[in-house]
Structure 1
Amino acid sequence: MNIFICTAYLLSQPKLTKIKHQNFCYILLSLKNFFDNIPNIKIRAFAKGKAAKQVFDLYKQKDNILIEGSIYIKRMKTVNKNKKKSKVIFVKIHKIHNLPI
């Protein structure tokens, strides 16, 4: 298991869904990038259980946060004639903290 800690900026309002009595929350994040000539990285993040409820209740779009979680990379096929596979980065949130910036 990999451990991922970063600062991020919320690009979207957290969306809460409930599936079989389990809370899931999905958000779009922009990771801060301190290297030159490289833009910020946009990724999708999700949380489940108590962490999902906490994300949905406490945070909104344009907040700066500190995330503790895991990274998942999924290969997805595109619906083109070329049949290329693209990689999508997901972050599973374990804990989330507010940044007073």
Structure 2
Amino acid sequence: MNIFICTAYLLSQPKLTKVKHQNFCYMLISLKNVLDNIPNIKIKAFAKGKVAKQVFDVYKQKNSLVIESSMYMKKMKTVNNNTKKSKVIFVKIHKIHNLSI
């Protein structure tokens, strides 16, 4: 498993759902970029269980967070079911720490 630690901003309000007594939380985050000439990277992130509830409780838009997670890529078909496939990067959050700035 790959471990990915980063500083990120929450761009969208986390959506908390419950499936079979398990919490799931999905959101859009922006990774802080050190290089000046490249814009920030937007990634879809999700969490489950106690971490999902923690993300939902800590939410404030443009909030800085330190995220300990793992990354993976998923191939997705286009909306009109053409042969084109795009790759989407997802982040599964394991731990989250709020930065008070």
**TM-score, L = length of structure 1:** 0.93
Given the alignment of the two structures, is residue 51 of structure 1 paired with residue 51 of structure 2, yes or no? yes
Query: Are 1:99 and 2:62 matched, yes or no?
Result: no
Deviation at 1:81, TM superposition (A): 7.3
The question of 1:36 aligning with 2:36 is answered yes
- Identity, in percent, stands at 81
Ranges in structure 1 where 5+ consecutive residues have no aligned partner:
none
Residue 100 of structure 1, CA deviation:
1.8
Counterpart mapping for 1:62-81 below 5 A: 62-80=62-80
TM-score by length of 2: 0.93
Q: In the TM superposition, what is the alpha-carbon distance from 1:42 to its structure 2 partner?
A: 0.2
Q: Any unmatched runs of 5+ in structure 2?
A: none
CA RMSD of aligned residues (A): 1.3
Asked whether the equivalents of residues 65 and 98 of structure 1 are also in contact (C-alpha less than 8 Å), the reply is yes
Q: 1:82 offset after TM fit, Å?
A: 5.2
SS in 1 for 2:56: helix
Q: What do residues 17-48 of structure 1 show as CA deviations (whole Å, max 9, x unaligned)?
A: 00011000011000011123211000000000
Residues 84 and 58 of structure 1: CA distance in aligned 2, closer, same or farther (over 3 Å): same
Q: How many residues are matched?
A: 101
